[in-house]
Chain A
Amino acid sequence: MERKDWPLWEVFVRARNGLAHRHFGSLHAADAKMALEMARDVYTRRAEGVSVWVAPSAAIAASDPADKDSLFEPMAEKIYRHPTFYAIPDQVKNL
Chain B
Amino acid sequence: MTARFAYLLRLGDTALVLGHRLAEWCGSGPTPEEDIALANIGLDLTGQATAWLDLAGAAEGKGRDADALAYFRDGTDFRNLLLAEQPNEDFGHTMVRQMLFDAWHVELLGGLERSADAGIAAVAAKARREAEYHWRRSSDWVVRLGDGTEQSHARVAESLVRLWPFTGEMFARDAVVAELVTEGIAPEPAPLLQAWNRRVDAILTEATLTRPADGWMQSGGLEGRHGEALGHLLAEMQSLARQHPGAKW
By a beta-carbon cutoff of 8 Å, the part of chain A in contact with chain B is 1, 6, 27-30, 33-34, 37-38, 40-42, 45
Contact = CB atoms under 8 A, between A and B. Distances in A.
B140 A45 contact: no
Given A1-B149, A41-B40, A45-B40, A27 B140 contact: no
A29 B149 contact: no
28 contacts: A1-B149, A1-B151, A6-B31, A27-B33, A28-B31, A28-B33, A29-B33, A30-B144, A33-B140, A34-B140, A34-B144, A37-B37, A37-B136, A37-B137, A37-B140, A38-B33, A38-B34, A38-B37, A40-B133, A41-B33, A41-B36, A41-B37, A41-B40, A42-B33, A42-B36, A42-B37, A45-B36, A45-B40
A27 B37 CA distance: 12
B86 to A, nearest CB: 23
Contacts of B136: 37
Nearest to B41: A41
Contacts of A6: 31
Nearest to B144: A30
B127 to A, nearest CB: 17
A2 to B, nearest CB: 10
A81 to B, nearest CB: 41
Which 9 A-B pairs have CB atoms at the shortest separation, nearest pair first?
A: A41-B37, A38-B33, A41-B40, A27-B33, A41-B36, A42-B36, A45-B40, A42-B33, A37-B137
